[in-house]
Amino acid sequence: MIIPRQQLDAFAQAAVSDFEKRMRVHLRRFFPERCAALGDDAVGSLIRDGIQVGRRHSILTERDVARYIDLAAFLEGGADIGREHSWARDILIADEEASTRLNRLNAAALRRDVGREGED
């Protein structure tokens, strides 16, 4: 059986749309203040941009893309974490598996967040 390219593209778009919907629910649950501050349209942009930026860094599995978008929400910037944070850029371009780089990014972000707790 041969599946036409147009049908494959429709399947792919449906999968992306489903992922976006689930990520919106997830982000609202785990980052409610951030989502409220951004608004619904910007949350959607963060998700779509996170997918695209992740792709540029060979972050391709649904789980890893979700982790990348979570990190972007946690850092309270845009989806291009490497552009906004030089420490993240070095990790993103490292010659390692995506999941290893994401583990390192999360650890580095948490260390920086802990260092900010005493500030104000």
Task: Say what the alpha-carbon torsion angle 36, 41, 43, 44 is, to the nearest 10 degrees.
Answer: 160
Helix and strand numbers (H, E) in the chain are 7, 0
Position 88 scores a pLDDT of 95
Q: Is residue 103 part of a domain?
A: yes
Q: Is residue 7 part of a domain?
A: no
Q: What pTM did the predictor assign?
A: 0.88
Q: Is residue 45 part of a domain?
A: yes
Based on the structure, what is the number of domains in the chain? 1
Q: Is residue 4 part of a domain?
A: no
Domain residues for the domain of 19 are 12-114
Q: Is residue 46 part of a domain?
A: yes
Position 114 scores a pLDDT of 64
Determine the 3-state secondary structure of 79 from DSSP.
coil
| End-to-end CA, the chain | 63
Q: Is residue 59 part of a domain?
A: yes
Per-residue pLDDT of the chain (120 residues; tens, 9 = 90+): 777 777 776 777 888 899 999 999 999 999 999 999 999 999 999 999 999 999 999 999 999 999 999 999 999 989 999 999 999 999 999 999 999 999 999 999 999 886 565 443
